[in-house]
Amino acid sequence: MNRRDTPAAVLFDRDGTLVADVPYNGDPGRVRLLPGARRAVDLLRAAGIATGVVSNQSGVGRGLISDAAVRRVNARADELLGGLGVWVYCPHTPDAGCDCRKPRPGLVLRAAEALGQAPGDCVVIGDIATDVRAGRAAGARAILVANTATRPEEVAAEPDTAADLITAVRSLLPPEGVSGHDGTRRPARQLR
């Protein structure tokens, strides 16, 4: 996929990108969408572009939250966002050496496969360097949308950044009058 191609799928980081970052959140009642998150997903859905989430959730490996709690939080976020195609998360701690923890490509590869897309036809959008590095490691394009948690050196090092989530998504959409990929909606799946 080159910069002008419409992606087949967009994979978002969860915390700090789509929802407010509440460390080790296991309470669906604390899920709050970030400004523009629902609109960004709606724009992709209207263009027929598949969507998913790839998220590190080391609180599980640390014993601070359960898999069930992560799934409940994801389900609440999915409900508020109007439904995404797949939710994939890594429950391991940073020192576990797994293949799924970002910046490794495992989550991106699994999400792309679950959506029936080649990783090279996907874009990963996140708020920190590990998100975009995972996308690139999988062969996807990546866009950094900085927030207060993003280090200035991460922003300076990234070739593809956007001021906000809506700007990032609009940069991926086809020109008006040109249709995107088939966006048949399937129920969200949560993978670990």
Pairing relation of β-strands 50-56 and 86-90? parallel
Known catalytic membership, residue 164: no
Q: Which of 15, 78, 127, 131 is catalytic?
A: 15
Which stretches does DSSP call E strand in the chain? 9-12, 50-56, 86-90, 122-126, 141-145, 161-162, 189-191
Q: Which of 5, 13, 99, 127 is catalytic?
A: 13
Inter-residue contact 156 to 37 (CB < 8 Å): no
Six-digit token string for 123: 């874009």
Cα separations in angstroms, 127 against 1, 76, 183: 22, 21, 25
Six-digit token string for 76: 């609440």
Known catalytic membership, residue 95: no
Q: How would you classify residue 113: left for phi > 0, otherwise alpha for psi between -120 and 50, otherwise beta?
A: alpha
Six-digit token string for 169: 């998504």
**Residues with a known catalytic role:** 13, 15
